[in-house]
Amino acid sequence: MEERRIILETEDIIKQYKQYDTVVTAVNRATFRVFDGEFVAIIGASGSGKSTLLHICAGLDRPNHGKVIVRGNNLSTMSADELSRFRGNFLGMVFQNHNLIPQFTALENILVPTLMCNKPDLSYEQHLKKLVTTLGIADRLHHLPSELSGGQQQRVAIARALINRPQVVFADEPTGNLDRKNADEVLELLIQTKELLGQTLVMVTHDLSIAERADRIFVMENGNIEPYRR
Amino acid sequence: MKLGRYVDHKYVRYTPVDALRRAGRFLRRFFAPSNVKHAFKNVISARREYAVFFIALIATQFIFWSSVTVFDSRDATARAEASSLADWTFAVEGYTQEQWFDIYNRELLVADAREEQYRGYVSYDAEAYTVMGEKLYSVKFTLPENNRADCDFIVLKYSLDKEGTSVRYSPAVDYEEGRLASKAFETVVIIVAGAISAFMLLALFLIRTNHYKFKYGVYMSFGADFEKLLETAGWELFAIAVITFLPAAILGIGVSALTIGLSGGAFALEWDRIPLAMLWTFIVVLVAVLPSVKILSVKAPINLLKAEDNSNLVSSPRRSKRMFGKKYPFHYELLSFLRFRRYYINLLASAVAFSTFFFLGNFLSDMMIKSANTPVPAYTISAGEGGLDAYDIEELAETQGIDYVLWENSVSAIGIGAHAVISRNQAADNYSNTVPAAYDESLRADNNFKFLSLDEFMISTAEKNGLWSVEGDPRSALNEPNTVVVSEYINNSRDLDFEVGDKIIIAVFAEQSGSIDTSRNDKKYILTQQLEAYDFAYLELTVGAVVDFADTDGEYTIGMSPAMFSDITGKSLGVSEAQIYLEPDLSPAEKQTAYAAVRRMAAICGGSVNDTYSDLYKAVDERCGYQNALRTCAVAIMLTAPLIWFFSQSAFAKKRRKENMMLSAFGADRAAMKKQYLASGVMLAIPACVLATALSTLVCYLVFVLFNEKLAAIGVISGVRFNFAISPLAYAVCAILNAVCAVVATYLPFRKYCREVDEAEKRSRTE
Ligand SMILES: Nc1ncnc2c1ncn2[C@@H]1O[C@H](COP(=O)(O)OP(=O)(O)OP(=O)(O)O)[C@@H](O)[C@H]1O
Ligand SMILES: [Mg+2]
């Protein structure tokens, strides 16, 4: 196999939630690596810690123990501020529950990342047009999230994650609320942009037929991550 | 502080130049026209949401403007008053004819021929008066400026200071002398007002950022760092500050000008207050915004995103079990209190804090009035070697225009190696100056007092003018053998506890039998040394009266007949200082007569007169007192307490909307929900009232102790004994305001919710 650059690497990640005397171990010694330009799918039962792991990899949360290295940068040694800028410059995130700002219209929500980082203009207009038409939300841009269906909200969230052309895209069940046809279209878009921009895509999904499209599949079980054996 | 920043995982240290450049870049970005425009548009279009900040910023800037208006007007009033009191700059008094002619012929005649700028004075005017048959001169000089250094220069230049003369400065010079101290005071006030204002805005801004946690969490997920958050969150407040700048200035200046005008002061305001106001407001807003944004920016974004569902709300799984079998709405809401305890504690704390500021402002204002109403001597005479005797003083006191004269002939116990032997329960628990007595080990020795010579005239002066509060008969010290009067206060705190009829023993130095270490200046240490090295003669005395002399001295007093006084202290009966109090509302001519008498007396005893210009400062206080400004500021702060209640509770109500909908979806009717929210309001009102009154009382008490005892001990406040009393009106206002706010602020958002639900229903029906 030719030498490939590692873009994301985790080592022994542990994330626990304590509440009084019960301890929930959401992620338990997760170690895995993702190569540059790869499409990796993570599958696993509900509650197995997929979302938690993804948040940690995307620098949105800090693990209790372990190391996350993205683009050669150790996230745990970064300050909160540096981490924020790092996310803005290199990472994109599709949240499982969308996390759209309720007071903003779809378009405003999509544009949030462009306002938040100080990257020079990347000809958003064109990119935006292509994103929203492919995602089929072009006629819904001026609606508030509460006026959109679950699937539409999800597609707005995807557009928001891609608008900045991040180097690594983390997607937490981006097709969870979509029907077969729409899900395939969205997946197609994600893979297309990935190919076009040389992105890396880390996707959590329940859908094995979607996971099958990935270069590699990991499976999570009780907070542990393992390569999936087909 | 580390100056630097992580760039691509490497920590890059800045030089100060880099830091400045970065700050410059940030400011340029921050003040970019697009940002400014956006912020203004934002706050104006969402003005209802920002209403609370509009009002709060008006209130804070109101405080600033009314303070500086009072400062400047006070300054102008004092200058005007001072120059109306005297048309000269300084005077030299007590020249003999020979001395005066000498100066006039040798110095002034020559100087008069020169131009004003070379001779240094504008004019002078000699006035003759007679003391005991001798003709003396007082010469008043007028200088171009009211400046003490100039006066002293002229005195030196023309050798005006001669044996037996004294220099007297005009009220204007005296005022300018004290200007530096009052400038320092003004600075302190402006800083304290800034701190209170920043605290108020911070409390409100924290409520806001907390409310918008989710939004900021999303921003941070997509790259917003501290600076970016500051740009988005901070600008809004700056925009509001700019918008409110003018109205607040007009309001603050207007209200102060009105109160000053009504009490007869002169209104004035310096132009340099405008840039100062801008700077002050900028700093206040920055101080309010920075911590709130910093708190956000260091959090992991996922926590902010998740917090939306249970923002600030803590639920405790153990307690939740108690929900079984409980009734809606009362028990339910009680549990809600438990669930939302963190929020409620924050709310109560900030609302109560503002009631406390209100209270404190009022209390301080009362203290100022008390302090302004405490009589101040118009003149003091520092006697020469022989001192003043009782006849002199009686003669002075009977002069026209003089109300009464106070004097004191006293000696500190420590100065003559004496001490008192008192019982343990005659000293307060926290009084620590005593050591075991040599006389009797079970008793305490104490040297923190002074011996005072009392006489009939002194007692009757005090009686006539209501100066002392007395228990027992003070004349017993004069009429009965071995009887004394005692006081109980040291630095305004009641450190001793005597009863009429108590026995105390005075130990008077008899002879020295050992050596003494004089290197330390600590009373207790000296006493311990003396007890070992000295022999004492003991006098057993009876307390004939306990007198509060209403002084603020650092020693208590043991008063006795003149005979006993000179026996014990070995000191003659001459008085070294007398304080002259004038009758109120004297005409200038009457005042001049009184002054002439005082001056004469000073000449007789070879001493000098010090003019305290008490009526100048009294007039300034009356026309341009701080207390009115303080009271309006207190009210301005008090009015922001409802802001906190309403702002916070309506933001909170939005979080509970879903809960309401669920409750009604599962069968709660309107009446029950109404009860739920009313109950919630009442449950908040009770602790709010209790906390507000308790905290206010506590803080006022601490401030009282600070002013009355601590500041008196270091001599900042002298001659005023405050008492700890809070007006029932302030209590009532504070309690009622908090209670009403708690109930109404809880209930109104619920009403609003109901209205919105009804409207939505109506709309869906008509569609
Ligand atoms: N803030 C939290 N406090 C306590 N426990 C948590 C918290 N967040 C997650 N958990 C727990 O951590 C475990 C993993 O959660 P996570 O959301 O990662 O699961 P998941 O694999 O994404 O599940 P799903 O497929 O349902 O989205 C779960 O048991 C969950 O209850
Ligand atoms: Mg999940």
Residue-wise pLDDT tens digits, B132-142: 888 889 899 99
Q: Check B224 against A73: CB less than 8 A apart.
A: no
Instruction: Please tell me the distance from the alpha carbon of residue A138 to that of residue A135, in angstroms, as a whole number.
Output: 8
Q: Is the pLDDT of residue A132 over 80?
A: yes
Instruction: Please tell me the distance from the alpha carbon of residue A230 to that of residue B597, in angstroms, as a whole number.
Output: 116
CA dihedral B583, B588, B589, B593 (to 10 degrees): 50
Tell me which of A24, A99, A154 to substitute to probe ligand 1's pocket, judged by most ligand atoms within 8 Å of the beta carbon: A24
- A139 lies in a domain? no
Per the listing, tokens 């007192």 go with B625
What is residue B5's DSSP assignment? Answer: E
Mean pLDDT of chain B: 85
Per the listing, tokens 């102790």 go with B705
Q: Is A15 in contact with A56 (CB distance < 8 Å)? A: yes
Q: Is B383 in contact with B605 (CB distance < 8 Å)? A: yes
Per the listing, tokens 């009526």 go with B615
Q: Is B496 in contact with B554 (CB distance < 8 Å)? A: no
Residue B313 pLDDT level (bands cut at 50, 70, 90): very low
B225: nearest CB among A85, A103, A112: A85
Instruction: Please tell me the distance from the alpha carbon of residue B719 to that of residue B619, in angstroms, as a whole number.
Output: 19
Residues A135-160 pLDDT 10s = 888 898 899 998 888 888 988 999 99
Q: Is B246 in contact with B277 (CB distance < 8 Å)? A: no
Residues B370-390 pLDDT 10s = 888 888 888 988 887 777 887
Could you please report the per-residue DSSP string of B598-647? HHHHHHHTT-EEEE--HHHHHHHHHHS-HHHHHHHHHHHHHHHHHHHHHH
Q: Is B580 in contact with B375 (CB distance < 8 Å)? A: no
Nearest CA to ligand 1 atom 16: A49
Q: Is the pLDDT of residue B10 over 70?
A: no
End-to-end Cα distance, chain B: 63
Decide: A47 in ligand 1 pocket, CB within 6 A: yes
The whole-number pLDDT of residue A82 equals 86
Q: For residue A194, which of A4, A6, A35 has the smallest C-alpha distance?
A: A35
Instruction: Please tell me the distance from the alpha carbon of residue B540 to that of residue B165, in angstroms, as a whole number.
Output: 47
Nearest CA to ligand 1 atom 4: A17
Q: Is A181 in contact with A136 (CB distance < 8 Å)? A: no
CB atoms near residue B174 (< 10 Å): 20
The whole-number pLDDT of residue B312 equals 43
Instruction: Please tell me the distance from the alpha carbon of residue B386 to that of residue A57, in angstroms, as a whole number.
Output: 92
The distance of Cα A192 from the centroid of its chain, to the nearest Å, equals: 16
CB atoms near residue A116 (< 10 Å): 24
How far away, in angstroms, is B81 Cα from ligand 1 center? 76
- A146 lies in a domain? no
Which residues 264-303 on chain B approach chain A with CB closer than 8 angstroms? 297-303
Return the structure tokens found at B420. Answer: 């008192």
Tell me which of A28, A51, A202 to substitute to probe ligand 1's pocket, judged by most ligand atoms within 8 Å of the beta carbon: A51
The whole-number pLDDT of residue B314 equals 47
Element of type H or E holding A151: helix A150-162
Amino acid residing at B259: T
Instruction: Report the gap between the CA of B749 and the closest CA in chain A (Å).
Output: 19
Which residues 309-368 on chain B approach chain A with CB closer than 8 angstroms? 316-318
* Residues lying with their CB under 5 A of ligand 2, a single-atom ion: A 51, 96
Radius of gyration of chain B (CA): 35
- A215 lies in a domain? yes
Q: Is the pLDDT of residue B9 over 60?
A: no
Decide: A26 in ligand 1 pocket, CB within 6 A: yes
Count of residues in chain A: 230
Decide: A88 in ligand 1 pocket, CB within 6 A: no
Domain count, chain A: 1
- A58 lies in a domain? yes
Q: Is A200 in contact with A38 (CB distance < 8 Å)? A: yes
Q: Is B542 in contact with B469 (CB distance < 8 Å)? A: no
Q: Is the pLDDT of residue B398 over 60?
A: yes
Residues B41-97 pLDDT 10s = 777 877 777 888 898 999 999 999 999 999 999 999 999 888 888 888 999 988 888
Element of type H or E holding B560: strand B556-560
Range of A13's domain?
6-99+169-227
Q: Is the pLDDT of residue A2 over 70?
A: no
Q: Is the pLDDT of residue B590 over 80?
A: yes
Q: What is the CATH number of the domain that holds A183?
A: 3.40.50.300
Instruction: Please tell me the distance from the alpha carbon of residue B419 to that of residue A40, in angstroms, as a whole number.
Output: 92
Q: Is the peptide bond before A120 cis (omega within 30 degrees of 0)?
A: no
Q: For residue B225, which of A106, A64, A72, A78 has the smallest C-alpha distance?
A: A78
Could you please report the per-residue DSSP string of B661-722? HHHHHTT--HHHHHHHHHHHHHHHHHHHHHHHHHHHHHHHHHHHHIIIIIIHHTTSS-S---
Element of type H or E holding B509: strand B503-512
Q: Is the pLDDT of residue B767 over 70?
A: no
- A208 lies in a domain? yes
Tell me which of A20, A48, A204 to substitute to probe ligand 1's pocket, judged by most ligand atoms within 8 Å of the beta carbon: A48
Mean pLDDT of the region B454-461: 90
CB hemisphere CA count around B53 (13 angstroms): 29
Sign of CA dihedral B680, B686, B689, B695: negative
Decide: A77 in ligand 1 pocket, CB within 6 A: no
Q: For residue B698, which of B360, B255, B313, B326 has the smallest C-alpha distance?
A: B360
The whole-number pLDDT of residue B4 equals 56
> Residue B115: CB partners within 8 Å, gap ≥ 6?
none
What is residue B170's DSSP assignment? Answer: -
> Residue B86: CB partners within 8 Å, gap ≥ 6?
B170, B171, B172
Q: Is the pLDDT of residue B281 over 90?
A: yes
Instruction: Please tell me the distance from the alpha carbon of residue B751 to that of residue B142, in angstroms, as a whole number.
Output: 73
Residues in B closer than 8 angstroms to A93, CB to CB, are 221-222
Return the structure tokens found at A190. Answer: 């994600």
Q: How far is CA B81 from CA B106, B263, B626, B627, in A?
A: 36, 14, 17, 20
Q: Choose from A181-185, B337-341, B365-369, B459-463 the range with maximum mean pLDDT.
A: B459-463
Q: Is the pLDDT of residue B317 over 60?
A: no
Residue B218 contacts A where some CB pair is shorter than 8 Å: yes
The whole-number pLDDT of residue B485 equals 93
Instruction: Please tell me the distance from the alpha carbon of residue B592 to that of residue A48, in angstroms, as a whole number.
Output: 97
Q: Check B9 against A101: CB less than 8 A apart.
A: no
Residues in A closer than 8 angstroms to B221, CB to CB, are 60, 87, 93, 95, 99
Amino acid residing at B625: G
Q: For residue B474, which of B554, B411, B406, B561 has the smallest C-alpha distance?
A: B561
Instruction: Please tell me the distance from the alpha carbon of residue B276 to that of residue B273, in angstroms, as a whole number.
Output: 5
The whole-number pLDDT of residue B334 equals 81
- A162 lies in a domain? no
Q: Find the range with the poorest average confidence among A21-25, A210-214, B281-285.
A: A21-25
Mean pLDDT of the region B541-567: 89
- A19 lies in a domain? yes
Residue B274 pLDDT level (bands cut at 50, 70, 90): very high
- A112 lies in a domain? no
Q: Is A131 in contact with A113 (CB distance < 8 Å)? A: no
The whole-number pLDDT of residue B729 equals 87
Residues B321-364 pLDDT 10s = 566 666 777 888 887 887 788 788 888 888 888 888 888 888 88
What is residue B575's DSSP assignment? Answer: B
Return the structure tokens found at A106. Answer: 């779809």
Q: Is A157 in contact with A169 (CB distance < 8 Å)? A: no
Q: Which ligand ends up closest to the CA of B302?
A: 1
Amino acid residing at B529: Q
Instruction: Please tell me the distance from the alpha carbon of residue B118 to that of residue B462, in angstroms, as a whole number.
Output: 53
Q: Is B620 in contact with B77 (CB distance < 8 Å)? A: yes
The CA-based angle B62-B66-B72, given to 5 degrees, is: 145
Residue B666 pLDDT level (bands cut at 50, 70, 90): confident
Return the structure tokens found at B569. Answer: 């202290």
Q: Is A169 in contact with A133 (CB distance < 8 Å)? A: no
What is residue A100's DSSP assignment? Answer: -
Sign of CA dihedral A163, A167, A173, A175: positive
How far away, in angstroms, is A205 Cα from ligand 2 center? 9
Q: Is the pLDDT of residue B667 over 80?
A: no
Burial class for A194, CB neighbours closer than 10 Å (0-12, 13-18, 19+) = middle
Which residues 127-166 on chain A approach chain B with CB closer than 8 angstroms? 160, 164
Q: Which atom of ligand 1 is nearest to A45's Cα?
A: 25
